[in-house]
Amino acid sequence: MTNLIVLPILIPLLTGAILIFFGKNKLVQRVLATLSALAGIIVSFIIVQKVRTDGVQSLNISSWDAPFGITLVSDMLSALLVFTTSIIAFACLLYSFKSIGENRENHYYYSVFNFLLVGVNGAFTTGDIFNMFVFFEVMLMSSYVLLVLGGTKIQLRETIKYLLVNIISSALFVISVAYLYSVVGTLNMAHISTRINEISINGMPGILTVIAVLFLIVFGLKGAIFPLYFWLPGSYYAPPAAVLALFGALLTKVGVYAITRTYTLFFYHDGFVFQLLAILALLSVIVGVIGAIAYWDIKYIVIYNIIVAVGVILYGVSVMNPAGLTGSVYYLIHDMIIKAALFLIVGIVIAITGTSNLRKISGLITRYPGLGWTLFLAALSLAGIPPLSGFLGKLLIVQGGVEGESYIGAGLVLLSSLLVLFSVMKIFINGFWGKAQTYEGEEKTPVKWLLISPAILVVLSAIYGIGSESFLPYINMAAETLMDPSTYIEAVLKE
Amino acid sequence: MRKVNNIILETSLKVLLFIIALYSVYIFTAGHYYPGGGFIGGLMTSGALVLLLITYDIETVAKILPVNYRFLTATGLLIAIATSAGAILFNVPFLTHVFTDVQLPVLGELSLHTATLFDLGVYLVVIGVTMTIIQTIGGDE
């Protein structure tokens, strides 16, 4: 079927539009949203298998040939990311049923939820730089609504900040695309790559390096790398847990994907920008771990761990060798799953105790052993303890760093694991051990139902880690396309 | 709930409303060959509706035009999606459009294009969104 790769975008779009009609009917909304999420998982799994057997898939929208129309491209990286997105969306949806509250459900929550997926899946799948901008906007507008929906004071305040930052970064995105268009005269990503290759035979012209740095600023603002992460802790502190998990798992990773894609496809000639990327990535790791160990607030601890992970993944990209890239792709998928799980668990803890201050929580393990051990596994996996999924990715990134003779970077990544482990174990030891207490909100919290989603995600992450042997061919395939853009270009331009 | 007797505005509205509405439909249909299209056409239609809102109040307008603008937005979206997804049924790439020349009894030979249906979707979404914004801000609950 020709249109297979458009389906992960089309299904949530259609669902989102239909759900507007059932704004007040909770049951219909939930059933439709669940069905669409399941369909998304199935379709994206088929796409992964299709890419595995037949190579990079491309679709020329509206039958215009490649550089002239919009092309959708599914290589292994985007197929895997779309698949992971679908799984996380399903988990967050299940969690939303019992946690998001009637008020939000009655105000188009599930519609906007689906529109967010349109944006994320579209940004992962598109092969056109301006189309990527449009999908970024679809994603961001939905995230504005999800962030402000409910209208509490903190949400209103943080949405203003988030909106301001993202409007500025979107304007910068348009400016960068305009610069790039004036230099290369095309918007199709594969075509841009060939044009840049033609003019960079004797080294990259200065203007292209400037554009590369501009792109790093734009996507760095979306993906929260070192000097541009300032908006993230506050904004992510505001929304409810299901939305937070969706944001933490997907939004920054779209920025990371965009950096990876543009740097490996467009600017691979330029050593300078990769050096810059490596420095910024390592600084993000440092800032992230400082934040993660500094706070006694469980939300902030996990939020700062996002910044650490973004740094680690981008460091793997910046060394630009097979080990580093494979590690980055593996770690990216691992991190999406485990961050979603952690935020969902944190959400349950906050729902039970009514506070996110770690000093006021203790002894949860006596009453909620399932919750405790899920958090424990997630924490070990996050830090990268061998049989679990965080291990292999970090190992490969460190290997990539050592092979690229960037020993300081590799050492920092290793050291950061220790501090990350310390920060999440702090939640486990202080919150779950100690004297058992009773809390006000615990009767009302449907812990068993809420625990389903993070448990699914943690189990998946464990399978992903233990069975890494069988997943590695997929990851390798993704990394090979990143290392060698010619397969991508051939699939799009069909030369 | 009107206090001022604004007979001049009400009388001129009766003439202006239809001229604006007709012009917006013209702009919408001419979009393929001349400047115009769904976006500007939709904005102009909502301009006509806003004039109606300025002259009367929200309840009166809701009585004249009992339209749920949120559903209008969703309908427009669905029309646009259906037009583009229709390509899937014929196993050609998404958003592929077709056109034919049709001989109609009164209008003569017309070239009908499925892009117009997509434009109709845009038109409805623009009206729906503009009117939802204005009514939400203007209404007091």
Alpha carbon dihedral A24, A104, A457, A37, in 10-degree steps, equals 30
Q: What are the chain A neighbours of B78 within 8 Å (beta carbons)? A: 14, 17-18
Q: Which residues of A touch B (CB under 8 A)?
A: 1-3, 6, 10, 13-14, 17-18, 20-21, 23, 59-63
Strands B108-113 and B99-104: antiparallel
State the smallest CA–CA distance between residue B133 and chain A in angstroms. Answer: 14
Q: What are the chain B neighbours of A59 within 8 Å (beta carbons)? A: 93-94
CB nearest B74 (choices: A3, A20, A59) = A20
Q: Residue ranges of the alpha helices (H) in A295-358?
A: 298-319, 322-353
pLDDT-derived band at A271 (thresholds 50, 70, 90) equals confident
CB nearest A62 (choices: B73, B74, B95) = B95
- What secondary structure letter does DSSP report for A440? G
pLDDT recorded at residue B2: 53
Res. B81: pLDDT tops 90: yes
ipTM of the complex in this document: 0.92
State the smallest CA–CA distance between residue A193 and chain B in angstroms. Answer: 24
CA A267 from centre of chain: 22
pLDDT recorded at residue A405: 87
CB-based contact, B81 to chain A, within 8 Å: yes
State the smallest CA–CA distance between residue A131 and chain B in angstroms. Answer: 15
The rounded distance, in Å, linking the Cα atoms of A140 and A263 is 22
The rounded distance, in Å, linking the Cα atoms of B135 and A367 is 50
The rounded distance, in Å, linking the Cα atoms of A175 and A211 is 10
pLDDT recorded at residue A210: 94
Q: What are the chain B neighbours of A36 within 8 Å (beta carbons)? A: none
Res. A261: pLDDT tops 90: yes
pLDDT-derived band at B107 (thresholds 50, 70, 90) equals confident
Tokens representing residue A196 in the block = 């840049």
Mean pLDDT across A292-306: 93
Where does residue A332 rank: exposed (0-12), middle (13-18), buried (19+ CB within 10 A)?
A: buried
The rounded distance, in Å, linking the Cα atoms of B29 and A371 is 60
Query: Containing H/E element for A425?
Result: helix A407-427
* Chain-chain contact of A62 with B94 (C-beta, under 8 angstroms): yes
Tokens representing residue B45 in the block = 């239609």
A199 within 8 A of A205, measured Cβ to Cβ: yes
pLDDT recorded at residue B1: 52
pLDDT-derived band at A220 (thresholds 50, 70, 90) equals very high
* Chain-chain contact of B77 with A17 (C-beta, under 8 angstroms): yes
pLDDT-derived band at B141 (thresholds 50, 70, 90) equals low
Query: Containing H/E element for A73?
Result: strand A71-74
Give the helix, strand, coil percentages of chain A, each rounded to 5.
80, 5, 15
What does each C-alpha distance from B2 to B8, B50, B60 come to in angstroms?
A: 14, 17, 11
Res. A440: pLDDT tops 80: no
The rounded distance, in Å, linking the Cα atoms of A216 and A260 is 10
What does each C-alpha distance from A482 to A151, A258, A267, B51 come to in angstroms?
A: 42, 12, 12, 55
Query: Containing H/E element for A372?
Result: helix A369-383
Helices (H) and strands (E) counted in chain A, each on its own, are 22, 2
Lowest mean pLDDT among A118-132, A398-412, A431-445, B36-50: A431-445
pLDDT-derived band at A495 (thresholds 50, 70, 90) equals low
pLDDT recorded at residue A400: 94
pLDDT recorded at residue A456: 94
Q: What is the pLDDT of residues B52-72, one digit of tens each?
A: 999 988 888 889 999 999 999
- What secondary structure letter does DSSP report for A126? B
A346 within 8 A of A299, measured Cβ to Cβ: yes
CB-based contact, B77 to chain A, within 8 Å: yes
Q: What are the chain A neighbours of B70 within 8 Å (beta carbons)? A: 20, 23
Give φ, ψ of A86 to 5 degrees: -60, -40
* Chain-chain contact of A17 with B81 (C-beta, under 8 angstroms): yes
CB-based contact, B115 to chain A, within 8 Å: no
Q: What are the chain A neighbours of B87 within 8 Å (beta carbons)? A: 3, 62
State the smallest CA–CA distance between residue A168 and chain B in angstroms. Answer: 23
DSSP codes joined into one string, B63-123: HHS---HHHHHHHHHHHHHHHHHHHHHTTS-TT---EEEEEETTTEEEEEEHHHHHHHHHH
Smallest CA–CA distance from B88 into chain A, residue: A3
CB-based contact, B95 to chain A, within 8 Å: yes
Res. A145: pLDDT tops 70: yes
Quote the mean pLDDT of chain A: 92
pLDDT-derived band at A203 (thresholds 50, 70, 90) equals confident
Most confident of A21-30, B82-91, B116-125: B116-125
CB nearest B92 (choices: A2, A17, A20) = A2
Amino acid at A145: V
Q: What is the pLDDT of residues A391-424, one digit of tens each?
A: 999 999 999 999 988 899 999 999 999 999 999 9
In sequence order, which residues have a C-beta less than 8 Å from that of residue A162 and are 6 or more positions away? A143, A144, A147, A231, A235
Give which of A2, A5, A74 to mutate to test B binding, by max B Cβ within 10 Å. Answer: A2
Q: Name the residue among A119, A120, A118, A93 with its Cα closest to residue A250.
A: A120
Q: What percent of chain A has pLDDT over 90?
A: 78
pLDDT recorded at residue A166: 95
Q: What are the chain B neighbours of A1 within 8 Å (beta carbons)? A: 91
Mean pLDDT across A375-382: 92
State the smallest CA–CA distance between residue B2 and chain A in angstroms. Answer: 32
CB-based contact, B88 to chain A, within 8 Å: yes
pLDDT recorded at residue A144: 95
CB nearest B81 (choices: A14, A23, A63) = A14
Q: Name the residue among A119, A342, A359 with its Cα closest to residue A241.
A: A342
The rounded distance, in Å, linking the Cα atoms of B72 and B124 is 6
Query: How much is the pTM?
Result: 0.94
Mean pLDDT across B33-53: 93
* Chain-chain contact of B93 with A13 (C-beta, under 8 angstroms): no
- What secondary structure letter does DSSP report for A251? I
pLDDT recorded at residue A114: 96
Residue with tokens 């090979």: A480
- What secondary structure letter does DSSP report for A442? G
Q: What are the chain B neighbours of A145 within 8 Å (beta carbons)? A: none
Mean pLDDT across A195-215: 89
Res. A148: pLDDT tops 90: yes
* Chain-chain contact of A10 with B97 (C-beta, under 8 angstroms): no
What does each C-alpha distance from A27 to A30, A97, A146 come to in angstroms?
A: 5, 10, 20
Mean pLDDT across A367-383: 92
State the smallest CA–CA distance between residue A108 and chain B in angstroms. Answer: 11
Res. B20: pLDDT tops 80: yes
CB-based contact, B19 to chain A, within 8 Å: no
Query: Containing H/E element for B14?
Result: helix B7-30
For helices A206-223 and A153-184, the axis angle rounded to 10 degrees is 160
pLDDT recorded at residue B3: 63
* Chain-chain contact of B92 with A17 (C-beta, under 8 angstroms): no
Q: What percent of chain A has pLDDT over 70?
A: 100
CB-based contact, B43 to chain A, within 8 Å: no
CB nearest B94 (choices: A6, A20, A21) = A6
